[in-house]
Structure 1
């Protein structure tokens, strides 16, 4: 049947052949296709790769597809826990109207990303999540408006001798229309933003290790100062158990004034693993790096960490040169009150 108004179709744990998929797309001119699991390897796609002069597709020996995909606007290529192979060559001419593309746990290469972003002339949203083969990512697009990059080293086998060579090393972005950008990577990954929109809403989620040291905070501040585009910072402490910061070393680092931020979000703080003294050191170092207009704290309702942070902010935190002048509670919200782990969110307006 023809579903001319259908805009989104999800295929999950199903096997469809090329004829079926082509029929779906041709009968639903507005459809956005979403295939989200390991069964993707059984579906013929409008891309192919060449091996030893022959042509084969991804998964179980699928050959090159001749799908008429001009109407396709959205494609999600993802899997939870299973790394998917991705064809090396892509027919971007067959996807001239593709607007959203998402890769998660996909064995995609740097060259493929460059080819897609340059060749897909209508693409305005791209997501790259836990793509372990990416190393030197170059994104150049005159149409791209939304970009999400998250690198997850834990996805790799740490015991593999080649694991270090597969870590994401550099990310280069040249997208003058980019207005939304979220970036979740190690501080060691080099980020170069050649062109983005003047009012780009850029959010940075640095990866946090077991121990937060003085060197980590110095790297964080240098990263914020060099990129100059991030106005929102989120730090998740759920995997961090030690704060090892030397206040004197921070003061002598000579990196300049703290960076101005619109929003700083703290989550994953546990009163069982972080003591009052370690939280004091953590906030000292954090406000040495940045001065947020709004501080958002997300904790478990039963967790006393938020109360402890409020007490520290009022009494003990002195920032580099200038103290925190005033704190105003903007809002307090609770979510999932009847769940196993109800959450509390506190938003504080800070004056410096």
Structure 2
């Protein structure tokens, strides 16, 4: 028998409530894993639990009404109750000097409040009053040693200067706020994570914050404006830097620190490479994620030799790149995503474990990888490009990969002048050209979007694919008005190929699929396992 349970005279067990004996800080830690609504439901358990909920160091306040997919400002009555509740709660924390570990404030990004236009005097007054309340809540949180601030600010809200003296702050996440320039010292001695999204920040202020926060490890600036140059000084210990769509035309990123291990940069509007760094400073970089239409073959050729510790490389929408030559003993993962100008990719990386190429099928492109990495080719192909030479080029693209595990093909909606698809394959057209037997791959993924193929095109499509590769599994995704008919065509063609002399198919394991009970959305996902 449990030593904490004692049997009474009536035969019932009298249990000891050990959970209620836990100290407040430990119970606070337990309910911190619940969301706000669930945490406050615990107040009905007992008077002590009501006290625990009222003194929870995690404060979350949402000042809007959710009506999917939008957020609306509440009515006057609801607004008064919400603000009154939040005011009284924050005053309780101030009066009792209760620790605030996390403060989350959410306001809707709306141009209207209570049905008033932005230009209305009443709206301006209400927004000013609301900003004053938020300032007061942040002041109380700073005084009570807040460690994390998560703020989605009201319209035209400016961060108060007192926030820059919050010595206990470790994490700051700001959305839709303004950070003007403040004359004064910045004392964010504990700040380690700073994330700004849709923030209007002056250049002097942003660089002043970066240079003053000596413990800052993670810096993320997304869709921000107000600055042209961002500097990571040599004194900075920033390890993870993310800049997405925040740099204006002719803007500049100056990297002077050698602590960077992860760098993500996205900007598809500038036609030049804006990053400046001295030789040797990026030697510790392990992850590089670039989505820039400005980077050229020369820029990438100068950058890659500097990255002696690079393990993961992702290049997306780098449309000016035509040739990639990589030689590295450290590189483990490479992702090439929608780099439409590429025609030559040569990779010599013995430690490479994963490679993925995704983009439109370009017959000019060649890929050569010397390692036994897990390779995935994901290509978008127009049906009019799927002819004998098109399948030949697809197979030629796969020959440069020593190990191709998956081939993903998406057929886009493209009709010829007669309004019909036109997929043809005749092996005799290749003449004496021979690329060897089809490649053995693990999975072939096919996707059809609004493209109803005829029976002859489906037969030519499968014939050309099986001439190119022998998959163990075929995954088919239909996004069609009549997916049932297309799936019947596909299953029938596979059955015919079992007895076909051209392909060594032994048998096919079909899924349990009933074409008459397909969901009205038109989306069907099925798999077939093939035995060669």
Query: How does the TM-score come out when normalised to structure 2?
Result: 0.52
| Residue pairs, 1:182-331, within 5 angstroms | 182-185=356-359, 186-193=362-369, 195-196=370-371, 198=372, 200-211=373-384, 212-241=386-415, 242-249=421-428, 252=431, 253-270=433-450, 273-300=452-479, 303-304=483-484, 305-316=486-497, 321-329=502-510
SS at match of 1:176: coil
Aligned to 2:505, the other structure's residue is in SS state: coil
Q: For residues 5-36 of structure 1, give each alpha carbon's deviation from its aligned partner in whole angstroms, at most 9, with x where no partner exists.
A: 967x654333443525625874333x2x4445
Following superposition, the deviation at residue 254 of structure 1 comes to 3.6
Tell me, what secondary structure is at the counterpart of 2:318? coil
1:169 is matched with 343
Deviation of 1:234 after TM superposition, in Å, equals 0.5
Cα deviation, residue 220, structure 1: 1.2
- CA shift for structure 1 position 192: 2.6
* 2:302 is the alignment partner of 1:103: no
Which of 131, 134, 137 is the equivalent residue of 2:318? Answer: 131
User: Is the Cα contact below 8 Å between 2:255 and 2:276 reproduced in 1?
Assistant: no
2:525 and 2:368 map into 1 onto residues whose CA distance is 33
When residues 148 and 248 of structure 1 are mapped into structure 2, their CA distance, relative to the original with a 3 A threshold, is closer
Choose between structure 1 and 2: higher helix proportion: 2
Tell me how far apart the structure 1 counterparts of residues 264 and 428 of structure 2 sit (CA, whole Å): 46
**Higher strand fraction (1 or 2):** 1
The 3 A distance-change label for structure 1 pair 35 and 276 is farther
Once residues 65 and 326 of structure 1 are traced to their aligned partners in structure 2, the CA distance between those partners, rounded to angstroms, is: 60
For 2:352, the equivalent position in structure 1 comes to: 178
Rounded to whole Å, the distance in 2 between the matches of 1:13 and 1:274 is 45
Tell whether the 8 Å contact from 1:41 to 1:60 is kept in structure 2 after alignment.
no
Distance 1:176 1:74 in 2: 22
**Match of 1:257, SS?**
coil
Greater Cα radius of gyration, structure 1 or 2: 2
Distance change (3 Å), C-alpha of 1:10 and 1:273: farther
The verdict on how the C-alpha distance between 1:117 and 1:351 changes in structure 2, with shifts beyond 3 A counting, is same
SS at match of 2:422: strand
Higher RCO (Cα < 8 Å, 6 or more apart): 1
Q: Is the partner of 2:280 in helix, strand or coil?
A: helix
Closer, same or farther in 2 for the Cα pair 1:101/1:351, shift >3 Å? same
Report the Cα offset of residue 251 of structure 1: 7.3
SS in 2 for 1:227: coil
Q: Which residue of 2 aligns with 1:13?
A: 198
SS at match of 1:223: helix
Alpha-carbon distance in structure 1 between the residues aligned to 2:427 and 2:293: 44
SS in structure 2 opposite 1:244? Answer: coil
Alpha-carbon RMSD across the aligned residues, in angstroms, is: 3.5
For 1:320 and 1:24, how far apart are their aligned partners in 2?
73
The residue matched to 1:291 in structure 2 has which SS?
strand
Residues paired across the two proteins, number: 315
1:72 aligns with 2:260: yes
Report how far residue 210 of structure 1 moved.
4.7
Mapping of residues 34-183 of structure 1, within 5 Å: 34-37=220-223, 39=225, 42-45=228-231, 59=248, 65=254, 67-68=256-257, 70-79=258-267, 82-83=269-270, 85-87=272-274, 89-91=276-278, 93-153=280-340, 167-183=341-357
